[in-house]
A and B are shown apart, each in its own frame.
Chain A
Amino acid sequence: MNKKKVISQIVRYSVYGLVALFFFYAISNNYFGYIFSETSTFLLLVKQHMQLVLLSSGLALIVAIPVGILVTRKSFRRAEWIVSNTVNLGQTIPSLAVLALMISILGIGFQTAVFALFVYSLLPMYRNTVAGIDSIDENLIDAARGMGMKPLQILLRIELPNAAYSILAGVRTAIVLNIGTAALAYVVGGGGLGVWIFTGIQLFDNGYLISGAIPVTLLAIFVDYLLRLLERRIVPEGSRPPQEL
């Protein structure tokens, strides 16, 4: 076993140890108690949280990927910098500020939270779509054209499959970030597990804090895992980066 491997093993087991220690500490203090004593509230919050994430990520997916594909078309290339800068702007504003701004337009509630999260998810998805398609070797497109493929065939059979890894990586990043950021929905009255997290902070009640925060974390890890499985199914074997083969 080489040095690198030893170090990575040490780091890995230390992290496992810390996580175990944390759970031991939390459980021995009965910090997860609220999940069991207020189960119906907990399930409602989880449901709200998932709705926030699904709706905002879904909308972002529907917008960001087609726009990313569109700006990589030859005739729309010129629009790329405008679109990129607009999307970048959405990301540069701090997430709390996005929420606050949205209140003045959409008022308080679920729809405001969804919109803010949607804006926040656009950039990673859009960026990776453009980068993925741009990274395809120009010669491949040339070969495809030279063999008599139509533009749509080139997009569906060459560009998207070869960019799939990058696009899905963007989707994964956006959704996982989104799950964490959705906790802020509480601030605009959007519900979700943020309700317990903020209650915990305000009441100095670790029980509420942890009963809210840990499910968010687990949800993020679980969704990340699911999306990785999906990635394995969708990305063609030949277009994966070498280390994943």
Chain B
Amino acid sequence: MITFDKTTKTYDGGVTAVKGVDFTVEKGEIVVLLGPSGCGKTTLLRMVNRLESISDGKIMIDGEDSMSLDSIELRRKIGYVIQSNGLFPNMTIEENVMIVPDLLGWSKKDKKERFKKLMNMISMDSEKFGKRYPHELSGGQQQRIGVIRALAADPPVMLMDEPFGALDPIIREKIQDEFLQIQKEVKKTILFVSHDIDEAIRMADKIVLLRGGELMQYDTPSEMLVRPKSEFVREFFGKDRAIKSLSLHTIRELQDIIGLAEFDEGITDTITINVNHDLRNTLSMLLNQEADQVIVVDDEGNKLGAITIDIVQKYLHFEIKAKPTLVEKG
């Protein structure tokens, strides 16, 4: 758990990068720091492991004031991933991944075992890649190594500074999914910087939207998209924020609330779609007019019903207008 308590950063020249930010990252959650460039998101992240000093206010990690801890000790307990992966070219992949365990004085055997386990997590062969050097790997592989390096000593907290920002869109999405899969298993408390709205919606349990060092809104992605608190938030997520919010929901959720349409056996030009598909992609499919009828199937291939643009629209209406606010704010 990371708690920000009126955290403020003022540089020597009098520029304030972060202004009295208050929020808490709950244990096992991914909180994405989102905002336009220069909004202070990276500074805020770097204040957690004290790469940037804290001018005023506090940052508590699991209830302990970070300033009361030794900065070296503190950093070894926090995983850190940066955009340019930061792998050391003079070290092999195994040496790179095992840096923090090495600093902490783990035994050779423990390190070997841990490396194997971590490489398994990202489905890379530890024998094959262990002795290689970073430059011999592709960008996507390097970034995966960067992620498991941060996980190496099993730190409870992780800081990720645009970790997937340098990757091309296809690989980025793949690694994001892979990371979410890993997160399900390891349940780290993660603070994640991004400037990519889609990435934030995809990855975040909650989003912190910053502007000029001030916290504009702290909410779940869907709340933020559906009920923006201010004009800035509304504009930041764009006119298509309703469509964006659809990517947070699956056909199954829609089926539970609105229900699907009856499908017509008479129509031959049909395509099928899995019930776990997100609604944003489903809507794109419907708009593309690829077939006269789109039939929803479950994992076993049983036909559950048909889906139409009207139904998606009805669901969206329910989400935005009818649904009561679930989380009490304050």
With a cutoff of 8 Å between Cβ atoms, the chain A residues found around residue B92 in the complex are 238
Secondary structure call for the A interface: helix
With a cutoff of 8 Å between Cβ atoms, the chain B residues found around residue A149 in the complex are 99, 103
Knowing A143-B86, A146-B51, A162-B90, the reply to whether A238 touches B133 (Cβ < 8 A) is yes
Bound together, the chains give a CA A157 to CA B98 distance in angstroms of 13
Contacts of B80-95 to chain A: CB distance below 8 A: 80, 82-84, 86, 88-92
Bound together, the chains give a CA A158 to CA B83 distance in angstroms of 19
A148 within 8 A of B: yes
* Interface-facing stretch out of B56-64, B69-77, B216-224: B69-77
With a cutoff of 8 Å between Cβ atoms, the chain A residues found around residue B159 in the complex are 146
Bound together, the chains give a CA A145 to CA B80 distance in angstroms of 10
Number of interface residues of A (CB under 8 A): 22
Bound together, the chains give a CA A161 to CA B92 distance in angstroms of 13
B88 pairs with A140, CB closer than 8 A: yes
With a cutoff of 8 Å between Cβ atoms, the chain A residues found around residue B89 in the complex are 140, 162, 236, 238-239
B134 within 8 A of A: yes
B100 within 8 A of A: yes
With a cutoff of 8 Å between Cβ atoms, the chain A residues found around residue B91 in the complex are 236, 238
B314 within 8 A of A: no
With a cutoff of 8 Å between Cβ atoms, the chain A residues found around residue B103 in the complex are 147-149, 153
With a cutoff of 8 Å between Cβ atoms, the chain A residues found around residue B86 in the complex are 139-140, 142-144, 146
B227 within 8 A of A: no
Interface mask (A99-136 → B, CB under 8 Å = 1, otherwise 0): 00000000000000000000000000000000000000
Secondary structure call for the B interface: mixed
A205 within 8 A of B: no
B100 pairs with A146, CB closer than 8 A: no
B74 pairs with A148, CB closer than 8 A: yes
Knowing A139-B86, A161-B90, the reply to whether A145 touches B51 (Cβ < 8 A) is yes
With a cutoff of 8 Å between Cβ atoms, the chain A residues found around residue B277 in the complex are none
B49 within 8 A of A: yes
Cβ-defined partner of A238 (8 Å) among B46, B80, B90: B90
- Residue in chain A with minimal CB distance to B74: A148
How near does chain B come to A214, taking the closest CB pair, in angstroms?
40
Interface mask (B144-171 → A, CB under 8 Å = 1, otherwise 0): 0000010000000001000000000000
B27 within 8 A of A: no
Bound together, the chains give a CA A236 to CA B134 distance in angstroms of 12
B135 within 8 A of A: yes
Knowing A142-B82, A158-B90, A162-B90, the reply to whether A147 touches B134 (Cβ < 8 A) is no
- Residue in chain B with minimal CB distance to A164: B90
Bound together, the chains give a CA A134 to CA B251 distance in angstroms of 54
Given contacts A140-B89, A144-B86, A157-B88, list 9 more A-B pairs with CB under 8 A.
A142-B82, A145-B51, A146-B46, A146-B49, A149-B103, A150-B72, A238-B88, A238-B134, A242-B135
15 chain-A/chain-B pairs, Cβ below 8 angstroms: A139-B82, A140-B86, A143-B80, A143-B88, A146-B82, A147-B75, A147-B99, A148-B74, A148-B75, A149-B99, A238-B89, A238-B90, A238-B92, A238-B133, A239-B90
B residues apposed to A, CB below 8 Å: 46, 49, 51, 72-78, 80, 82-84, 86, 88-92, 99-100, 103, 133-135, 149, 159
The 4 closest A-B pairs by CB, nearest first: A143-B86, A148-B75, A238-B133, A148-B76
